Structure 1
Amino acid sequence: MQLNIYQAFLLISVSTSTLLTTPGCAANPEHVKQLLNTNKCFNCDLSGANLQGANLSQASLLGVNLQGANLQGAHLSRAFLYQANLQGANLSKAKLNGADLSEATLYQANLQGAFLYQASLLGANLQGANLSQATLDQAFLSETNLQGANLSQATLYQANLSKANLSKANLQEAFLSKADFQGANLQGANLQKAFFFQANLQRANLQGANLQECIFQYTMMSDGKFHP
C-alpha cells in the first residue's frame, strides 16, 4: 500500500530523534512504518513517537507501547488499544470515539478535551490522568481506576462508572446526567457544582466527598433513597 504525502511526512518525522517527545523513549522506526502501511501493529514499540494529528481510525494496536507518545488531535476512533501502554501520553483533543481501551494503562496521560463517546475503558488505569473537558458520553468505565484523575467540566452522559475508583478525583462542574455510579468509590472526590440528573449512586462511597453546590435531580442516592 502506497503512503500518501501526509503519511510519508509523518513517517519521516517519527523516525527522527528530534521529534521524540519523551527523553529516553525511542519509537522503533520499523514499527512506525508498519503502522502507517497497514494500520495495525501488535505489541509494537511506539514509545515517544510524534503522531500528532495522525489518522489511525480503526487501527489494531493490541498491547502497543505508546508511553510518552504525542497523539494530540489524533484520529483513533474505533481503534483497538486493548492493554496498550499510554502512560504519560498526550491525547489532548484526540478522537477516541468507540475505541477499545480496556485494561489499557493511561497513568497520568493527558486527555484534556478528548472525545471518548462510547469508548470502552473497562479496567483501565487512568490514575492521575487529565480528562478535564473530555466527552465521555455513554463510555464504559466500569472497574476503571480514576483515582486522583481530573474530570472537571467533563461530560459523562449515560456513562457506566459502576465499581470505578474515583477516590480524590476532581469532578467539579462535571455533567453526570443518567450516569451509573453503582458501587463506585468517590471517597474524598471533589463534586462541587457537579450535575446529577437521573443518575444512580446506589452503594457508592461518598465519604469525605465535596458536595458543595452539587445538584441532584431525580437521582438514586447511595443509601437507596430517591432524590426528587
Structure 2
Amino acid sequence: EDDRAELAAQRRAQQQSGYRLADGRWRGERYGPVRGVAVGTVFGAGDYQRKGRFEMSETGFHAGHVQPEWHDPSGAGCWSLVLNNDNGQSDFSSFETVAYAGAGGRNRGQNRTAAQSYDQSWDSAVNRALRANCENGRPVRVVRGPKLPGPHSTATSGGGFRYDGLYGVTKAEMVRTGPKHLQTCMFTLQRLESSCGDEVEDAKKKRGAATGTGRDAPGVRGKRSRKR
C-alpha cells in the first residue's frame, strides 16, 4: 500500500508540473509539438552521456532511456525519435532531410550500433509505426544527441539532447543495403516548415512532393488513415 500511495503521489506531482495529463498519459504521447517545449530546447545541457535521456523521460517528453523511437502502442505511428548513434545505413549529414534505417536485423543482445546480420521486416513494431507515419501524415518530433555522427550533433555545442522540431516521414521502403545486400527498412524524414498548428498538412504535402502523387510512398501499402 505504501508503494501505491507513493506512486499516486508521484503521478499527482507530475500532473501538477504538466508532465502528465489528467488521464495519466505523458504529455509527449501525442503527434506534433509538446506544450512548454520549444524547438531548440536542450535536455541535459553540458552532459555527453545519458542525463538528457533521463530528463526527457522524467518530464514526459520522450519516454525510455535507451530506445531511440517512442511509438504509439496502437501502431498508429511514432511520436518521437532520438538520433544519437550510427545505426548502420542511416545518413545524418543533412539537417533538413534524414535517411533513417529501421529496427531489427541484429542478433539478440546487440544494440542498434551493431552491423546488421539478417533481413529486417515490417513485423517490427517500430518499423510498422514509422511506416504508419508515412501513410497517415502524422509528424515525428526529432531530437539530436551528442554521439550523433556528422555535423549536427550537440557534441560541439555543449552536449545534451536538442529538440530540433517536427519531421514528416515522406518515404518508407524496403531496400537492400550494405555489403551483404540485406533487406533494410529505410525511412526518409523531411523537416517541416511549421512547428505547430499545420504540422500534419505540412507532412502530407512533403510526402506528396516526394512521391509525386500524394498517396502512399513506395513500399507502403494499405489504407491511409483519415485521422489527424
Greater helix share, 1 or 2? 2
Greater strand share, 1 or 2? 2
The structure with higher relative contact order (CA 8 Å, sep 6+) is: 2
Indicate the structure (1 or 2) with the bigger Cα radius of gyration. Answer: 1
Short-chain TM bin: under 0.3
- TM-score between both structures, scaled by the size of structure 2: 0.28
